Amino acid sequence: MKPAPFDYHRATCVRDAVQALADADGDAKIIAGGQSLVPVLAVRMARPKVLVDINRIPGLSMIVPVDGGVRIGALVRHARLAEQTAHPMLAEAARWIGHAAIRSRGTSGGSLAHADPAAELPVVAAALEATIHLASPRGTRTSSAADFCVGALETTLEEDEMITAIDMPLPQRWGFAEFSRRHGDFGLVTVAAAEVGGHWRIAVGGVGGVPVRVKEAEQLHDSGAPLEKVTAAAVAAISPGSDIHASAEYRRAMTAEFVRRALVQQKERAAA
């Protein structure tokens, strides 16, 4: 199948992009890397009247230091994120995204906006309590990562809004562990663990519609509890479903193991 016909608007700046979204009365889609949107268009699961191309907007591909972390522009490609050294945890997570071709086009903003429950960046954003910068014709606002993702492929983005950047705090220590059948596949279970401001935050992806923060496990880890207690608390906090990829029971078992690996990994890295 081919996409249904659409008009194409190449935005010159953020204001132009969000105005084009507003002018289409909810019948427009931003296209960034196109890695998730184009397949959806091709099978006509989406039939927007207008595609707003943001790829030529200047200033959205930056990675700059901000207080306590880095600001990632919405158009930063996964490949660049994997290569940068300013935020090692993000670099590690980006290396797990798809294959080289996908990483060379896919963007940070696109990954968060698409909100795939198995995607890596939303899990890291949840663990780091990232701040998402949004623009619309009405002005700008910020959203916490936790408030932004509300369900599988569902966010609080308004029809005339776009992501411009994401602030990712820099953790003192961190771990990232993912289980997928083959390298490059979406993760069945993805765990991001980060120590920020002396407290651990642990987010698990692939076990629900949105990344799950396992708060009791975090507190146990902060208090120095044995890893078995921490992983048991993490498993108790999730309610995964069964699908063609894995049963709920399997995902629970993988969560215990990959929370353990993420936390063991951080200890090794901290000691290195």
Ligand X SMILES: Cc1cc2nc3c(=O)[nH]c(=O)nc-3n(C[C@H](O)[C@H](O)[C@H](O)COP(=O)(O)OP(=O)(O)OC[C@H]3O[C@@H](n4cnc5c(N)ncnc54)[C@H](O)[C@@H]3O)c2cc1C
Vertex 59: Cα angle to 55 and 65 (nearest 5): 130
C-beta closer to ligand X: residue 120 or 167:
120
Binding site for ligand X (CB under 6 A): 29-37, 39, 54, 74, 97-98, 102, 105-107, 109-111, 113-114, 116, 119-120, 157, 162-163, 186
C-beta closer to ligand X: residue 16 or 116:
116
Helix, coil or strand: residue 240: coil
Q: Which residues are bridge partners to 189 per DSSP?
A: 179
C-beta closer to ligand X: residue 82 or 232:
82
Residues in the chain: 272
Per DSSP, helices labelled H in 155-245 are 215-222, 227-236
Please, what is the minimum distance in Å from the beta carbon of residue 168 to ligand X?
15
Longest dimension (CA), the chain: 58
What stretch of H or E contains 58?
none
Per DSSP, helices labelled H in the chain are 14-23, 37-42, 78-83, 88-95, 100-105, 108-114, 120-128, 145-148, 215-222, 227-236, 248-271
Please, what is the minimum distance in Å from the beta carbon of residue 157 to ligand X?
6
Q: Which residues are bridge partners to 68 per DSSP?
A: none
When CB distances to ligand X are compared, the closest residue is 106
Q: In which order are the strands placed within the sheet that holds 50-53?
A: 7-10, 50-53, 28-31
C-beta closer to ligand X: residue 104 or 172:
104
C-beta closer to ligand X: residue 157 or 193:
157
Please, what is the minimum distance in Å from the beta carbon of residue 94 to ligand X?
9
Please, what is the minimum distance in Å from the beta carbon of residue 140 to ligand X?
13
Pairing of strands 154-155, 189-196: unpaired
Please, what is the minimum distance in Å from the beta carbon of residue 150 to ligand X?
15
C-beta closer to ligand X: residue 36 or 143:
36
Please, what is the minimum distance in Å from the beta carbon of residue 86 to ligand X?
20
